[in-house]
Amino acid sequence: MTNAAWRNWQGWPAIVALAAALALPVVAGSSPIYLLGVGIEMMLLLLLVAVAAFAATRPDSAAAGDAALLFGAHAAGAVTLWYLPDAAAAGAAAAAEVPAGASTLLARIDSAPGFWALALLAWLLAWQLVARLAVLRGRNNGQEFLLRVFVPILFGIWILFLWEVLVRGFGVPFVILPPPSAIATTISASTTTLFADFRQTILKAVLAGYTIGCLAGFLVAILADRFAFLKRGLLPIGNLVAALPIIGIAPIMVMWFGFDWPSKAAVVVVMTFFPMLVNTVVGLSASEVTQRDLMRTYAANYHQALFKLRLPAALPFIFNALKINSTLALIGAIVAEFFGTPVVGMGFRISTEVGRMNIDMVWAEIAMAALAGSAFYGVVALIERVSTLWHPSFRHSSTET
């Protein structure tokens, strides 16, 4: 089998899954439901799915085939979600008849075999679609940027689709893992509470602690680079503090700074200070010997060499610390809120709602934290891209891609 054919192996299993979805009942029982017995609108969607399944068997990637996969995969996903409530109800009824202690997995599958074949078909088509789009390269920077954004979003949408289908289809209790639709409903119904928690944790504790910690780490790194005794003394302490657990630091900071957001910001400062310190110190030594010798031949003093050579050369290390700290700051603030906080904040909400078994709200807070952390990281990465376009490491990575 050729490499191209192997990369597109999902095509023929998709054809088999399509045949099974058409031949088997979507919902079994006394009044079975078949896909072939539905209206004209559903038949058009199934025709689009069939075209996509046959396009998936082609080993080469063409614009027409990719378009067919794009529309066909989403048509298959839409049909799957349309019949999900019926399949879930049939599965629940079949699981209720299973003897106590026995597995209900096969009973749920047997109650809706066509539905599960359809879900498998949608996933196979989406898998090949994302695989094809991931290797495409844009003709210009605009197209390349759109592909870089579109492919991860598409992949994330299909992960949510699989999550929704598996949780609802197999009747996973919401207290164990709620489906994305339930989490979205909780988010839409709790926007006021979520925004208050976001403001308390992100806009106050995280941003304040992140700014103070990163700036202090950067300034101390400049001093440590200037005075050797500081470098030898601080770096071992940095390794020691980096190994301290958050649950050991947070209660102390609460006793020092109180229950409000300043104590959480203090935890963030401790967590972000030493990564910035260590990375900046290492980055200041990243310039080449020949470059430093050239600065000496120009009679450059310490400050001139620092600002014109060594700090620009250290930018990738500094931004690496900023990106690492963007996630550490969020984690530190949320965990610190477990150890005393006003009745607001992401960590407070997670800890209290877990005790109430309100898992939907817990996942809503997790989703908000993930979105905020991703946006924070993306902003730092965007600033890095703009600031280091000239750097050889960036030019090298751009050439490779």
Same domain, 387 and 252: yes
Same domain, 288 and 384: yes
Same domain, 235 and 307: yes
State the residue range of the domain holding 287.
188-400
254 occurs within a structural domain: yes
Predicted pLDDT at 355: 82
Is 50 exceeded by the pLDDT of residue 2?
A: no
Report the percentage of the chain scoring pLDDT > 90: 20
182 occurs within a structural domain: no
pLDDT band at 135; cut points 50, 70, 90: confident
More confident residue, 121 or 292: 121
More confident residue, 6 or 179: 179
Is 60 exceeded by the pLDDT of residue 14?
A: yes
Is 90 exceeded by the pLDDT of residue 165?
A: yes
Q: 59, 139 in Cβ contact below 8 A?
A: no
Beta-bridge partners for 48: none
CA 354 to chain CA centroid, Å, is 22
More confident residue, 15 or 244: 15
- Residue 27 burial by CB count (10 A; 0-12/13-18/19+): exposed, middle or buried? buried
- What's the rounded Cα separation, in Å, for the pair 338 and 357? 17
pLDDT 10s digits, 273-316: 888 988 888 888 776 666 665 666 655 666 666 777 677 878 88
Same domain, 78 and 225: no
pLDDT band at 96; cut points 50, 70, 90: confident
Is 50 exceeded by the pLDDT of residue 400?
A: no
Candidates 274, 259, 286; CA nearest to 218 is 274
Residues in the chain: 401
pLDDT 10s digits, 141-150: 777 778 888 8
- What's the rounded Cα separation, in Å, for the pair 36 and 118? 13
Highest mean pLDDT among 23-32, 183-192, 225-234, 255-264: 183-192
Report the percentage of the chain scoring pLDDT > 70: 87
More confident residue, 240 or 50: 50
180 occurs within a structural domain: no
Predicted pLDDT at 176: 87
Same domain, 31 and 156: yes
Is 80 exceeded by the pLDDT of residue 157?
A: yes
Same domain, 340 and 198: yes
Is 90 exceeded by the pLDDT of residue 209?
A: yes
Q: 213, 278 in Cβ contact below 8 A?
A: no
Predicted pLDDT at 348: 87
Number of domains in the chain: 2
Same domain, 158 and 217: no
103 occurs within a structural domain: yes
- What's the rounded Cα separation, in Å, for the pair 203 and 215? 17
Predicted pLDDT at 399: 47
Same domain, 137 and 192: no
Mean pLDDT lowest for which of 49-63, 86-100, 297-311? 297-311
Give the three-state DSSP class for 27: strand
- What's the rounded Cα separation, in Å, for the pair 100 and 298? 85
When pLDDT is averaged across residues 187-204 and rounded to a whole number, the result is 90
